[in-house]
Amino acid sequence: MKMSRLTSDLDLNRIQMKNVTEVTVFILMGFTDDFEVQVFLFLLFLAIYLFTLIGNLGMVVLIIGDSRLHNPMYYFLSVLSFLDSCYSSVVTPKMLVNFLNENTVISYLGCVAQMFLAITFGTTECFLLAVMAYDRYVAIYNPLLYSVSMSPRVYVPLIIASYVGGILHASIHTVATFSLSFCASNEIRHVFCDIPPLLAISCSDTHTNQLLLFYFVGSVEIITILIVLISYGFILLAILRMHSAEGRRKVFSTCGSHLTGVSIYHGTILFMYVRPSSSYALDHDMIVSTFYTIVIPALNPVIYSLRNKDVKEAMKRVFGKNGWINKVSFYSKT
């Protein structure tokens, strides 16, 4: 009788644990329940998303189509533009649907896929921005050997390594996060499946996950920022040795846009993830994460095109010398 009762109790516990851990859907709570505000946000983010796709995919087409832009610097820029389009597309379409739909459910597997892809593209972009800084160092510090130092045998593996690093980093966090139990709630206070809001609704011990988040994201940030700083340190030395004012102006023009993009992107990432879990404020963090997943991909085409003479010239050749590109160029100088 005791053995039978013990077996029955164990089976009951298994059934209860199975029911606890088998979350099949999550609910994305979003920004607000006010319908008028949701309509406004829908129109705003739809405009941003369309601008992101047109700007970034247009940049990819421009670089592929113009032979004058066929060099490693612009190949890296085309990969960055493609990444930004994918990064925004992982989050924005679902968010737009949820603005106009009372049912804001996302499936368990959909949430897993969204988190994995968002972390993959986000981390790949971190590595790629570091690679782009190294590319600028090679081009400016020793321009005569640039074509040899940054040949296809070099830049293609660098691009592949960036993607591999992103995939590995995403795999670690995705597996660690979805190994947890979600029994307290399935309501995610966010517009997409991100790590901190999912840890917040888990009923498991998330201490290990917090450490993984802090140390892995911190390591990626330290490594990539160090590469950027060291590369630009050597670039600064090269600039100081230049006697031509025109040469210095061109270097500042090409490097300034990259430094702007790096500063904005890494600044938001550091604020979002590399801090104690006690300082997380989900509503505030939702705005910050929306900024780097949706707004920054829209800003990058502007940052990398309006201050880049080669890109502006290529745009003029494609769209015509008397079109709206001249107006954009004029306003970017003022």
CA pair distance 304, 179, nearest whole angstrom: 40
CA pair distance 3, 42, nearest whole angstrom: 60
CA pair distance 313, 306, nearest whole angstrom: 10
Q: Which two tokens stand for residue 282?
A: 């989900």
Q: Let me know: does 85 contact 297? Beta carbons within 8 Å.
A: yes
pTM above 0.85, yes or no: no
Q: Which two tokens stand for residue 33?
A: 């329940």
pLDDT, tens digit only, all 334 positions of the chain: 434 443 444 343 333 444 444 678 999 988 888 888 899 999 999 999 999 999 999 999 989 888 888 889 889 999 999 999 999 999 999 999 999 888 899 999 999 999 999 999 999 999 999 999 999 889 888 888 888 889 999 999 999 999 999 999 999 999 999 998 888 688 898 899 999 889 888 888 889 999 998 899 889 989 999 999 898 888 888 887 777 766 667 666 667 777 777 877 877 777 666 555 555 556 677 887 888 889 889 988 888 776 677 777 777 777 665 444 455 444 444 4
Q: Let me know: does 111 contact 145? Beta carbons within 8 Å.
A: no
Q: How many Cβ atoms sit within 10 Å of the Cβ of residue 144? A: 7
Alpha helices in the chain (DSSP H): 2-21, 35-65, 72-99, 108-141, 146-149, 152-177, 195-200, 207-241, 245-273, 282-290, 296-305, 309-319, 324-333
* Cα dihedral sign, 36-37-42-44: positive
CA pair distance 151, 166, nearest whole angstrom: 23
